[in-house]
Structure 1
Amino acid sequence: MRNALSLLSFVLMLSLTALAQDGYQKKTKKSKADEAFLVQNYYDAAALYKEAYLKEKNRAKKSELTFLQAECWRMVATPQALKKAESMYKRAIKAKYPHAEVYLRFAQVLQLQQKFDEAVEQYQKYQQLKPEDDRPAKGIESCAFAKEALDNPTRYNVDALDIANSRANDFAPSFGNGDYDVLFFTSARDGGVGKGADGSTGQSYTDLWSVKRDKRGNWSKPVVFPEPMNTGAHEAATSLNKRGNEMYFTRCEESSKEKPVPTCEIYFSKKKGKGWTAPVLLPLPYDSVTTFGHPSISEDGKILYFASDMNGGYGGKDIWMVKKMKRDEWSEPINLGDQINTSGDELFPFIHADGALYFASNGHVGMGGMDIYKAEFDAEGTLLSISNMKSPINSPLDDFGIIFEGKREVGYFSSNRTGGKGGDDIYQFNLPSLTLTLSGIATDANTNSIVGGANVSLMGTDGTTATTITDNSGRYEFGKDVISEGVAYELTISKEGYLSTSANETTFGVRESQDFVLDFSLEPTKKEIVLPRIEYDFNSAKLRQESKVALDALVAVLLDNPTVIIELRSHTDFRAGTEFNMGLSQNRAQVCVDYMVSKGVEPVRLIPIGMGETEPYVMDRKDGRLKMGVALDESYINSLRREKDREKAHQYNRRTDFKVLDKFYNPDTGEILKSDN
């Protein structure tokens, strides 16, 4: 990772070198070491600081030279180098190095080696000396986070991609086509085009390489890209569009007469036959001190994300984006904002097929060095959340450059974690699928007997819907083809003679295959819900005494069945006008509701509707001249000869009836829920 970081720090370091050279009239061991450190030649710098230390007599200067040696090994950041750095910081503290920074750097080195408790002690010492600095608080929080993440790793499987790794740095994988069977990556291994030595690693300049996977899943040996894709400079960090015919990558040029100060810039090339066109510089606002790198192009090729320390950022290197306006023309760079970017470095952006942004950062709370984070957005592009990928994707060292195969939880990333071949190595990962099922048994709440033939419906927050029926043992089941990870489900069970009921289950946070069990205890309908005909006097909405008695019986039934919702529909005879009759019938329905509410029934369970004269009563039995099955409409009533029969028919029409709705009431929450009966 230090190699990857150095590519984007090349410009600044070389500028500082020039200033350092101007400031020294006589070259000493220390001044030479300072120059080497400024250009990130940490191995040479450490050796020169050590030589200066051995010749130095002044104790204060010796403590400074010890601290500077520790800084060199901290920047090299290999496991062996970190041990050296730890030893040197201890010696510097013992020698009374006067600057508080020694405690901060010591803490960071301890944290990188998973010595979290010791790191916290050093962060606290620095915090006491520099209470205005927020870095120790973040460091302490990161130590706690790292301990928890290591103790509770995610389900990802991580393995080294050995075919792509060497004793040199290998990093920044990207897909070479839409089939995901060609992998491009960056390497400092021998055999490349760039022959220069990078002072920060002692390795060759990086080049672009590729491997290809055959139909059997076997990878070919790495092949270096020929010139002009690779040159004597650093080439690194490729990104291709979905079709695999457009490539963007980083190039860090050496100094020359035309360009006295080296820069890192983004180049573009197109696929041509089996090769690539000569790379051209992408039009971005380059200058003599700003660096650009780590491009990531969206699948449609219309948005390019990259890392840069250009003006307008929030600290070190930030993630920016440009939009393609038309051919070879891009918008002004847009910073992704202070929720993603920090005072540290944000690098290696990757746009997932689902729109999420993955990136590496050492500025957010994490496990130690660079960690990989996931930023999720809504449909309008508003940032919703940023989450750390945790262990085993992340480690206490540097983890960066993640990519995914489309929407699958399969891909690759880079890390300098312990156990690799070299410094930075490429790792492959996948998230094993879980086998999840949901089943249960339905029983009668009163007798505990099984309930077969009940309808069970399921609805998930991911849009999944399914139905099944309990068998003759009362059992239902939804299999692995229905139940998925990270989904909340609502189940509703119903059967005639029982009250419908619902329950919830969730698979959020599940880490292993599981058979979920959700049993139902169904309440039988306690009493038959019968409402005798409630009749009214002509042109009146006042309840008769016998009607109150009938309503009292209904109230008792509703209190015994607290989930039932009913609709009360009141009617009139056809005398008087239509508008008047509609108002009168609504008043009659409301009078019934008001009465039952006064007796303790929740008003939301009673829905009054005035029907006016629109639904004449249909005789369900013979009553004198009124025959069974006859609709008592206006023409029929007028055909009756006797006034007594006509008045009786009008009385039948002046009534309130009801029906049980296809909904039910949850008395615990006050919610009205839809039944799937």
Structure 2
Amino acid sequence: MKAKLLIFVCALSSTFMVAQEKLADKFFENYSYIKATELYKEVVKKGDSSEHVLTRIGDCYYNNSNTKEAAIWYGKAIKKYDKINPEYIFKYIQTQRSLGNYEEANKWLVKFKAIQNGDSRIKGYDPNSIKMYEDLASTKNNDVVVEIINMPFNSENSDFGSFVYNNKLVFASAKKSDNKKVYGWNDEPFLDLYEVSVNEKDGRKEYGQAALIKATKVNTDFHEATVAITNDGKTMYFTRDNVNKKNKLNYDNKGTTNLKIYKATLVGDNWDNIIELPFNNDHYSTGHPTLSVDNKKLYFVSDREGGFGQTDIYVVDILGNNTYSDPVNLGSKINTEGREMFPFIAKDSTFYFSSDGYLNLGLLDIYSSDILKDETAEPVNIGAPYNSGYDDFAFFMDDDGKTGYFSSNRPDGQGNDDVYSFNAEQCKQKINGLVRNMKTNELLANVTVKLINENGKIVETYTTTADASYEFIVDCDKKYTVLANKPDFKDDFKEITTDTTNNKVTNSDLYLKPLIDHNQIVINPIFFDFDKWNIRTDAEYELENIVDVMREHPTMVIKIESHTDSRGSDSYNMKLSDRRAKSTRDYIISRGIDANRIESAIGYGETQLLNKCANKVKCTEEEHQLNRRSYFYILKD
């Protein structure tokens, strides 16, 4: 009797699990992922850990972008079942990328590649490298600094998609309202279209309060999102659930409501005259419209048959009078076996879109492509900080080419999906300082300060005024030299290497050594090799200061004195110093200075030593060299 009762209880439990699984499937198929998750987990507690249940729980979390939980359930499934659908391996890989577990992602990428070798989504991946992910995740772009700001009009629910026209930003939001229906996918209200004013003050954008878009018939009880507005501001294309004239959902033969694109016309201040586009269909979704720069083509996303993957991007010609050409798939240079979504075309015709079918950081990433200018162009992941390990999508760029918006469900937001603004500026730094007299520390005006790049090119010149300051705006991560010169002063320069910190200021004061001190032109010592009187290169370099001073003062007359150390006989040193004085004179004359302006060039041997190093006194080479010197006295100026 007990055995029969046990069998009955087990059968009853099994029947319950099957029934609850079917109920969960029903909620799942109707996109009620929150409820489906709850029911599937009850089935697991009862002992059912089938591939179907485990992967369905993974899908529920994945479709709501909860990659942490999705990774757990996909991981359980793919590690338990050897012959699992490879699509779940791919989704597990995506969750691992999203979480930054690149080594784990690559481990399963090898297995996925072995099963799906021709899959377009593995193009560009190196299973032996994680650097490819690190490069995408790095925000250290030496040329551009991107400021990302979470928008103040975001709510605690989903807010995404941006289109700016006439100082207004239109976006979709699931903001709470007492009369709004709740969408079972994520237990949030259905999306409506909102707008917010955008104005600029002191170089910063300011936003007004978000309000429902001015339209009599655009927003319904169901989803409206992702708009595109013509250049004249009179026509708007937008995405909406397949809703009939009675504001009821239409379903396909599987019980699914698909998306459609509609067109509205601006009548006064309101959007009205709603028209469904003719290439929509009840049996597949069509949405996410965007316009070409000239407004002659409309691009959109669809999961219609004949595509490359789960959703593809298509284009139609706008022929007028609500007529359009047949949709054309953009092809394999854009579309993959994954999801391509949210197209946008910038003013320069750069094509932006989101995809999970290319090298990415997990889930949807934003890509740019020159496909409209070059049919062979390959998409480029625009990297962090636009992209993260989460869904990043709905890219919009302002006409200035450096500011705009995108949407993301990254964890630092205010709600589920949030709208973020970006400002991409060239990374710049400042080099500044004061120029002073090295001897007196006084500020020097009329100093020429040159900014020289690492190739030796003078890129900018600045002349100091009474405050003796100079300033240059320079690029990040570069090498520069700032060189200061002023007549009658010895040049000074500083070498500066900028880093990747935007707006960093490097202070570098420059000190010019005066060349004229009372009755002398003072330069660094002119050194000669032992027992020689020829002018060395380093001596020529210093003597150019004498040449510059005499050119600056064309009536100046000088005399030259030369001295030796004590080594050698006194008479020999006298002759040696005289030869050095005259070779110094001859060099100056060779540089175009009139010989009459050098009254004399006389050697004094070792008769005027500067230190103790007289005959028979043991000294170092440096001490002896101190005595091998020349003086330049000013006799007339």
TM-score category by the smaller chain? 0.5 to 0.7
Letter in 2 for 1:46: T
The answer to whether the Cα contact below 8 Å between 2:243 and 2:249 also exists between their aligned partners in 1 is no
Gaps in structure 1 of 5+ consecutive residues: 1-23, 439-457, 459-465, 472-476, 487-508, 516-677
* Corresponding residue for residue 185 of structure 2: 200
| Alignment of structure 1 residues 244-263 onto 2, 5 Å | 244-254=233-243, 259-261=250-252, 262-263=257-258
| Alignment of structure 1 residues 133-282 onto 2, 5 Å | 144-154=131-141, 155-163=145-153, 165-177=154-166, 181-191=167-177, 195-214=180-199, 216=201, 217-225=205-213, 226-254=215-243, 259-261=250-252, 262-282=257-277
> 1:310 and 1:467, CA in 2 relative to 1: closer, same or farther beyond 3 A?
same
> 1:67 and 1:381, CA in 2 relative to 1: closer, same or farther beyond 3 A?
closer
What is the alpha-carbon distance in structure 2 between the residues aligned to residue 383 and residue 131 of structure 1? Answer: 23
Deviation at 1:99, TM superposition (A): 2.2
2:97 aligned to which of 111, 123, 136: 111
| Alignment of structure 1 residues 315-354 onto 2, 5 Å | 315-354=309-348
Question: Does the residue aligned with 2:281 lie in a helix, a strand or coil?
Answer: coil
The answer to whether the Cα contact below 8 Å between 1:298 and 1:304 also exists between their aligned partners in 2 is yes
Question: Does the residue aligned with 2:206 lie in a helix, a strand or coil?
Answer: coil
* Corresponding residue for residue 301 of structure 2: 307
The answer to whether the Cα contact below 8 Å between 2:242 and 2:282 also exists between their aligned partners in 1 is no
The answer to whether the Cα contact below 8 Å between 1:352 and 1:407 also exists between their aligned partners in 2 is no
What is the alpha-carbon distance in structure 2 between the residues aligned to residue 148 and residue 206 of structure 1? Answer: 35
* Corresponding residue for residue 43 of structure 1: 34
Of the structure 1 ranges 38-47 and 117-126, higher mean CA displacement relative to structure 2 is found in: 117-126
* Corresponding residue for residue 45 of structure 2: 54
Question: Does the residue aligned with 1:221 lie in a helix, a strand or coil?
Answer: coil
Confirm whether residue 74 of structure 1 aligns to residue 62 of structure 2.
yes
Aligned length: 433
Deviation at 1:84, TM superposition (A): 2.4
The answer to whether the Cα contact below 8 Å between 2:51 and 2:81 also exists between their aligned partners in 1 is yes
Normalised to the residue count of structure 2, the TM-score between the two structures is 0.60
The answer to whether the Cα contact below 8 Å between 1:146 and 1:366 also exists between their aligned partners in 2 is yes
Question: Does the residue aligned with 1:174 lie in a helix, a strand or coil?
Answer: strand
Question: Does the residue aligned with 2:45 lie in a helix, a strand or coil?
Answer: helix
Deviation at 1:248, TM superposition (A): 0.7
1:423 aligned to which of 416, 429, 438: 416
> 1:307 and 1:478, CA in 2 relative to 1: closer, same or farther beyond 3 A?
farther
What is the alpha-carbon distance in structure 2 between the residues aligned to residue 324 and residue 130 of structure 1? Answer: 39
Confirm whether residue 394 of structure 1 aligns to residue 387 of structure 2.
yes
Letter in 1 for 2:175: R
| Alignment of structure 1 residues 645-664 onto 2, 5 Å | none
The answer to whether the Cα contact below 8 Å between 1:207 and 1:224 also exists between their aligned partners in 2 is yes
What is the alpha-carbon distance in structure 2 between the residues aligned to residue 355 and residue 131 of structure 1? Answer: 34
The answer to whether the Cα contact below 8 Å between 2:17 and 2:46 also exists between their aligned partners in 1 is no
1:122 aligned to which of 108, 130, 135: 108
CA RMSD in angstroms, aligned pairs only: 4.1
Share of identical aligned residues, percent? 28
Normalised to the residue count of structure 1, the TM-score between the two structures is 0.56
> 1:468 and 1:53, CA in 2 relative to 1: closer, same or farther beyond 3 A?
closer
Confirm whether residue 292 of structure 1 aligns to residue 278 of structure 2.
no
Gaps in structure 2 of 5+ consecutive residues: 1-14, 432-452, 464-469, 478-498, 506-637
> 1:395 and 1:299, CA in 2 relative to 1: closer, same or farther beyond 3 A?
same
The answer to whether the Cα contact below 8 Å between 1:112 and 1:369 also exists between their aligned partners in 2 is yes
The answer to whether the Cα contact below 8 Å between 1:375 and 1:383 also exists between their aligned partners in 2 is no
The answer to whether the Cα contact below 8 Å between 1:192 and 1:207 also exists between their aligned partners in 2 is no
